[in-house]
Amino acid sequence: MLDKMRFNYLLSALLFLIFSLPAVAKPALVPAPPHIAAKAWLLVDFNSNRILAEHNSEMRVEPASLTKMMTAYVVLTEISNGSVSLDDQVLVSEKAWRMKGSRMFIEVNTRVSVRDLLKGMIIQSGNDASVALAEHVAGNEESFVQLMNQYAQALGMTGTHYSNCTGWPAADHYTTAKDLAIMARALIRDFPRHYAWYREKEYTYNNIRQNNRNRLLWLDDRVDGIKTGHTESAGYCLVSSAKQKNMRLISVVLGTASDNARSSNSRKLLNYGFRFYETFLLHKANQPLTRMRIWKGETETLPLGLQEDLYLTLPRGQRRKVDAKMSVEPMLVAPATKGQVYGSVIIKLTDKEIIKRPLVALQSVPEGGIWRKLVDNVKLMFQ
């Protein structure tokens, strides 16, 4: 009886010690990306631009009809600049009419609106529509291609060169998975209203109805674009984008063996990103993070903040481990120009620096008058 009482006492004491120990935080576990049967692939968060998975992302590949993403970008830019209108009536040339491959079936010497041509290129992947748009914007395809390459350089697509506006195989026509992600981000960011066309499942022109070749539009409600590509040499390619709650991902899958393969591998990447990562807004652009004393100016304080929204993409469960700090110049003296850098915002995750952004003036502060300068000079003597 005594041994039994002693045993129960010891058991109770042991259980008390176990459950009174401080809880140990579980590490955020992220497995390796799924196996992707493709020549090159990439998964990136749209807002933070953080790459979550990649393979051969800077390897030169044929873009095939993914080229039309840049063709659309150039045309939409010209529309936003006012030099082209969606209602412009484009006279279809014989060259555009004779284009091989995927077509929207426009007729030679007829007039088609820029709006219809864009939809025929985006939804039906029409090579004929691409050439007609290029000729309307730049006079001929060759001049339009020069614009394409100039925009590629401006966007930072350093591994890309275009030889045509359709993606027809050519010796000096290439891109990379990383550059295609840049292209996709630019389209979604700069033309959100027109980007909605990439989610349309079908388009009818000339009494011919054609389906969008992006199968994910039927298979995954999160997916709202963007473009497929295929040639014998390039294989089956897909750049896709999906949004779940406040998180948008872009996947690039290049050189798969079939239409089904490019769709299934793209879904694998998207599911991986949404399952194991989360994206959140840490600081908004143009909102004061601090107000600093500025000497000898018309005003006594200068608001400092970020020029762009600061998003973080982290493994799920690590948000509480983020530490944000500011480093600011010790003395600010007018004049100050809006956008001028006065320090930095440093983001750390478990004491490791992961992001550093410039801390800039959110407004200009001109020099103050003689009296303000005199008063501040006296105050500075006692600083």
pLDDT tens across 343-373, in order? Answer: 999 999 988 999 999 999 999 999 878 887 7
Among 256, 276, 296, residue at a domain's last position:
276
Range of the domain at 324: 284-381
Q: Are residues 269 and 137 in the same domain?
A: yes
Q: Is-contact 41 24, C-beta < 8 A?
A: no
Q: Are residues 126 and 237 in the same domain?
A: yes
Q: Are residues 195 and 339 in the same domain?
A: no
In a domain, 311, yes or no: yes
249-266 per-position pLDDT tens digit: 999 999 999 999 999 999
68 is catalytic: yes
Catalytic residue (choose from 57, 65, 93, 130):
65
The two three-digit tokens of residue 111, written as one number: 């007039």
233 is catalytic: no
In a domain, 96, yes or no: yes
Q: Please determine, for residue 11, whether its predicted confidence score (pLDDT) is greater than 60.
A: no
Among 259, 276, 293, residue at a domain's last position:
276
pLDDT the model gives residue 21 = 41
344 is catalytic: no
55-109 per-position pLDDT tens digit: 999 999 999 999 999 999 999 999 999 999 999 999 999 999 999 999 999 999 9
pLDDT the model gives residue 78 = 98
CATH number of the domain to which 271 belongs: 3.40.710.10
Q: Please determine, for residue 19, whether its predicted confidence score (pLDDT) is greater than 90.
A: no
pLDDT above 90 coverage of the chain, percent: 85
Catalytic residue (choose from 39, 68, 119, 227):
68
Catalytic residue (choose from 48, 125, 163, 251):
125
In a domain, 3, yes or no: no
User: How many distinct structural domains can be found in the chain?
Assistant: 2
The Cα-based distances of 372 to 112, 296, 337, 366, 376 in angstroms read 65, 6, 19, 12, 6
Q: Please determine, for residue 26, whether its predicted confidence score (pLDDT) is greater than 80.
A: no
Q: Please determine, for residue 223, whether its predicted confidence score (pLDDT) is greater than 60.
A: yes
Q: Are residues 89 and 109 in the same domain?
A: yes
β-pairing, 290-295 with 332-333?
Answer: parallel
pLDDT band at 27 (very low <50, low <70, confident <90, very high): low
Picking from 375, 347, 369, the residue whose alpha carbon sits closest to that of residue 280 is: 347
Q: Are residues 227 and 349 in the same domain?
A: no
Q: Is-contact 225 150, C-beta < 8 A?
A: no
pLDDT the model gives residue 376 = 64
- Cβ contacts of 182-185, under 8 Å, gap ≥ 24: 182/155, 182/156, 182/157, 183/69, 183/70, 183/73, 183/152, 183/155, 183/157, 183/239, 184/69, 184/225, 184/226, 184/239, 184/241, 184/250, 184/252, 185/44, 185/46, 185/49, 185/250
Residue given tokens 């969008």 in the structure block: 212
Please indicate whether residue 29 or residue 109 has the higher confidence score (pLDDT): 109
